[in-house]
Amino acid sequence: MPGIGKSVTLVFHNLAKELHKRGHQVYVIVGSNFPIPDSTKDGSVNYLTFKTDKEYILGSEEFQRNDVKDMIQSDGDMVTNFRLVRTAAEFFTSQCAEMLEDQELFVKLSSFNFDVAVIGAYPFLANCQILPYKLDLPVISITSFTSLLGQAGLPLLPSVVPSLFTTFTEHMDFMERVQNFVITLVSNFIFTPSIPAELVQRHVPHKPIKTFNEFLRDSILWLVISVNPALEPIPTLPNVILLGGMGVKQPAPLPDHLEAFVQKFKSQGVVVVSFGSVVKYLPTEISKRFLSVFSKLKYGVVWRYSGEDLGEIPPNIKLMSWLPQSDLLAHESVKVFLSHCGNAGSYEALFNGVPVLAMPIAGDQPHNAERLVKRGLAIKMSVATFSPGELLENINILASNSTYQSNAKRYARILRDYPMSLVDQAVYWIEHVVRFGGSHLQSPGAQLPWYIFYSLDVIGFLLSVVVLGVYCIKILCRACRRKCDQNPATGGDKKKQ
């Protein structure tokens, strides 16, 4: 699949690495423009690239300095977010087209004897579904879009399953359920793209034309990397495996220079600051506000930063253009994680028992942040409008308040208290469907029209029977009444006299 982002690539790599350890040959397809993370270049994954002359959008200077800056300064404005999503979606759609047109890649893939394709099930990668169809491969879908799980035959229950595009939890009042219902329907409509019929026809002329939803319904297994049942219980099915946090790896020792810095603040504690791989530059004014706060802390601050020169940096702050984030959050000295609450970073904090100062920007981040806040694991602030005084106060609260610290440690124990790791679970189920296929796990509901799946035809029939029955009873009562009025034995004629 064309690389969506480094965090998703790391999830794929963790999975691929474990499959490799068990003797499987694993190949990952990315564009020739994709910046493959150095941490994945360990020989366990074979990368296959397709030709592209486009710069990888999430790393381009124009995207970072204009689109991402607008996204941050808009403070969650929906119009700005949708414009950004559309820009990214157009790029990834073109990447899928280039992958399908790369004949050299297809010839190479055809020479391998693959058992299964693990493909990212994302609306903006819809056209990628054509490749495994062309190669006659069964498909395992990996996704963070829970709205797509309806295609697996999973009932979408907006009464208890909040949309990723809301800040609701599973406990909603009436008006929140109304909003969630509407947003779920609208987002399902918006994020169900159409795969051009002529595109399927051109690349797979010998097979029936399929829609995006029809491709998804044929998935033999679903790996959901955005939901963990310990944190957000949702209805599931035998072929839907909830693996939120699968990207969290076993901690490795920190580089010597970073370990030395952390050890200097062992007694006070360390704050880790990162806005993920998508946000490369923060606006300089916001960065200077952060600097003014961090310089007043007694804690050490490890800050992933690659923006403008900020001048003299206080000794308690260490700037780094890249962080071994998961390894750092696992360190016993880390007290607080200041984050945008992307899916990967949120779970890294959770699994390592670190409270979060949440500053969500876009996408699923507000939802992730609110999920942590409602469980007493985070405090949420606006990255665009925060005041230095409030930020300073909240960092100190998270670092010193025993409630936040104990809640975070408790959830870390819960998330780790399973007989198998998340990666081991994913590998087990992949090997299972490779050995036996997946038809015995698939719900027949996946192939039903929505009105049959939700029994609307049965409800309509029963309502019709009730209405017809009431109507017949009413007609019968009228007939009996007329009969009685016309019968002299009823005394009706005497009344007239």
3-state secondary structure at position 439: coil
Q: Where are the alpha helices (DSSP H) in 229-283?
A: 256-264
pLDDT of residue 345: 93
Q: pLDDT by residue (tens digit) across 338-380?
A: 999 999 999 999 999 999 999 998 888 888 999 999 999 999 9
Return d(Cα 371, Cα 377) in angstroms, integer: 9
Question: In angstroms, rounded to a whole number, what is the distance separating the alpha carbons of residues 244 and 230?
Answer: 9
Bigger pLDDT: 488 vs 126: 126
Would the pLDDT of 37 be above 90?
no
From the CB of residue 203, how many other CB atoms can be counted at a distance below 10 Å?
Answer: 16
Query: What digits encode the pLDDT tens for the residues 153-164?
Result: 998 889 988 888
Phi, psi dihedral angles at 41 (to 5 degrees): -90, 65
Give strand pairing partners of 271.
301, 336
What is the secondary structure of 160-205 as a DSSP string? TS--TTS---S---HHHHHHHHHHHHHHHHHT-PPPPHHHHHHH-T
Q: Measured between alpha carbons, how far is 256 from 66 in angstroms, rounded to an integer?
A: 36
pLDDT on residue 209: 95
**Amino acid sitting at position 102:** D
pLDDT tens, position by position, 175-225: 999 999 998 888 887 777 889 999 999 999 999 999 999 999 999 999 999
Cα-based distances in Å from 374 to 351, 371, 391, 412, 473: 17, 5, 19, 16, 53
